[in-house]
C-alpha cells in the first residue's frame, strides 16, 4: 500500500487490508473452534486458499516491475491449488479480480469444518528488507505456520531470506474458527525480490513448497514443529482496531 510505504512495518498487514472446542485433532474430523487453543490439525480434508486483496484494492505495487500484489496472490493460490492436486478439497476464496471484505472472507471460511485457511500476500516496506514472513495467532495454527515459513525460506535465495514467524492478531489470523495463516511470500518493495516474484518459475517453486508444507501438516499434524505457543485471550480483530 503505497501511501504507507514510509512505515518500516509490514505495511500490507498493518493496513489490515491484508488481513466450542472441536473434535480430536488426531485426524478425521476437526471442527471449528473460536479460540483455537488446541493442537494443530491432522488429516484435514479442505484447504481454503485466500488470494489477498482484489478489485479496487491492489495491495502493494512494485516500483520495479509494476506488478500488483492482488494479481500475484491470485496467481499463487491457483498454483498452490494445482500443486495440491486432488489430495484435498480446495476452495479459492476468490478466483477473479474482485474485492471481498475481510469480514466476508472470515465468514466464508467459517462455513467449513475439517479445513484450514491460508491467505497469500506479498509485502511492501520502505526499509529495504526482504524475505518471506508468516503471520499466525491461534495455537492450532502454529505447526502449520512453522512448516510454511520453513518451506518459503528454503525457496527464497536471500541471505536474510527468513523473516520468520510473527504472532499477530489480524482479522485473518484471529477471527476464523479454523486454523489459519497469512503468508507474505516476499517484499515487492525490494527490487531483487520483486523480480523474483515476477518469475513464474519462482512462483511455482514457492507454491510447490507451500503445498508440500500443507500436505505434511495433514499427514503428521504438529509433529516436529516444536512446542505449542501459549494460549492468548484477545477479542476478535475489528476494522476499527489500531494498527497492530
Ligand atoms: Zn497484502
pLDDT digits (tens, 9 = 90+) for 148-173: 999 999 999 766 667 899 999 999 99
Q: Distances in Å between the alpha carbon of 36 and those of 64, 65, 67, 240?
A: 40, 39, 35, 23
pLDDT tens, residue by residue, 37-73: 999 999 999 999 999 999 999 999 999 999 999 999 9
Ligand 1 centroid, distance to 26 Cα (angstroms): 33
Instruction: Flag whether pLDDT at 98 surpasses 70.
Output: yes
The answer to whether position 108 is within a domain reads yes
C-alpha of residue 24 to centroid of ligand 1, in Å: 33
Please state, in angstroms and rounded to a whole number, the distance separating the CA atoms of residues 27 and 81. Answer: 22
Ligand 1 centroid distance, CA of 22 (Å)? 30
Strands 180-187 and 133-136: antiparallel
71 found inside a domain: yes
Q: How remote is the CA of residue 177 from the centroid of ligand 1, in Å?
A: 21
Q: How far is the CA of 100 from the centre of ligand 1 (A)?
A: 13
d(C-alpha 244, C-alpha 241), whole Å: 8
What whole-number percentage of the chain has pLDDT above 70? 86
Structurally, how many domains does the chain consist of? 1
16 in a structural domain: no
pLDDT in tens, 171-228: 999 999 999 999 999 999 999 999 999 999 999 999 999 999 999 999 999 999 999 9
pLDDT for the residue numbered 93:
98
Going by pLDDT thresholds of 50, 70 and 90, the confidence category of residue 241 is confident
Looking at the domain assignment, is residue 154 inside a domain? yes
95 CA to middle of ligand 1, Å? 16
User: Distance of CA 213 to CAs 61, 90, 109, 220, 237, Å?
Assistant: 27, 15, 20, 11, 27
Judge whether 137 lies within some domain.
yes
In a domain? residue 19: no
pLDDT at 244 over 90: no
Task: With respect to residue 36, please indicate whether it lies within any of the assigned structural domains.
Answer: no
CATH number (domain holding residue 75):
3.40.630.40
Q: 203 alpha carbon to ligand 1 midpoint, in Å?
A: 16
- What is the residue range of 179's domain? 41-220
More confident residue, 143 or 28: 143
Reduced to 3 states, what is the DSSP secondary structure of residue 183? Answer: strand
Residue 234 lies in a domain: no
The Å distance, Cα 3 to ligand 1 centre, comes to: 14
| H or E element that contains 212 | helix 200-220
Show the beta-strand stretches assigned E in the chain: 46-51, 89-92, 115-123, 133-136, 164-167, 180-187
242 pLDDT higher than 90? no
Amino acid at each position: 500500500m503505497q501511501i504507507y510505504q514510509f512505515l518500516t512495518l509490514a505495511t500490507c498487514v498493518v493496513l489490515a487490508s491484508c488481513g466450542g472446542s472441536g473434535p480430536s485433532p488426531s485426524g478425521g474430523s476437526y471442527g471449528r473452534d473460536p479460540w483455537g487453543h488446541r493442537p494443530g490439525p491432522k488429516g484435514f480434508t479442505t484447504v481454503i486458499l485466500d488470494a489477498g486483496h482484489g478489485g479496487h484494492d491492489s495491495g502493494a505495487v512494485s516500483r520495479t516491475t509494476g506488478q500488483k500484489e492482488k494479481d500475484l496472490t491470485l496467481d499463487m493460490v491457483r498454483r498452490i491449488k494445482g500443486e495440491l492436486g486432488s489430495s484435498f478439497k480446495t476452495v479459492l476464496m476468490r478466483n477473479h479480480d474482485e474485492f471481498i471484505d475481510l469480514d466476508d472472507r472470515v465468514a466464508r471460511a467459517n462455513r467449513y469444518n475439517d479445513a484450514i485457511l491460508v491467505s497469500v500476500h506479498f509485502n511492501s516496506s520502505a526499509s529495504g528488507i526482504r524475505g518471506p514472513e508468516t503471520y499466525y495467532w491461534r495455537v492450532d495454527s502454529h505447526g502449520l505456520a512453522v512448516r510454511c515459513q520453513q518451506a518459503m525460506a528454503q525457496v527464497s535465495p536471500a541471505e536474510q531470506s527468513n523473516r520468520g514467524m510473527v504472532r499477530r492478531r489480524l482479522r485473518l489470523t484471529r477471527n476464523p474458527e479454523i486454523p489459519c495463516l497469512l503468508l507474505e511470500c516476499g517484499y515487492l518493495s525490494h527490487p531483487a525480490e520483486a523480480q523474483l516474484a515476477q518469475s513464474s518459475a519462482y512462483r511455482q517453486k514457492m507454491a510447490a513448497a507451500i503445498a508440500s508444507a500443507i500436505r505434511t501438516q495433514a499427514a503428521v499434524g504438529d509433529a516436529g514443529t516444536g512446542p505449542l505457543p501459549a494460549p492468548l485471550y484477545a477479542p476478535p480483530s475489528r476494522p476499527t482496531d489500531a494498527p497492530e
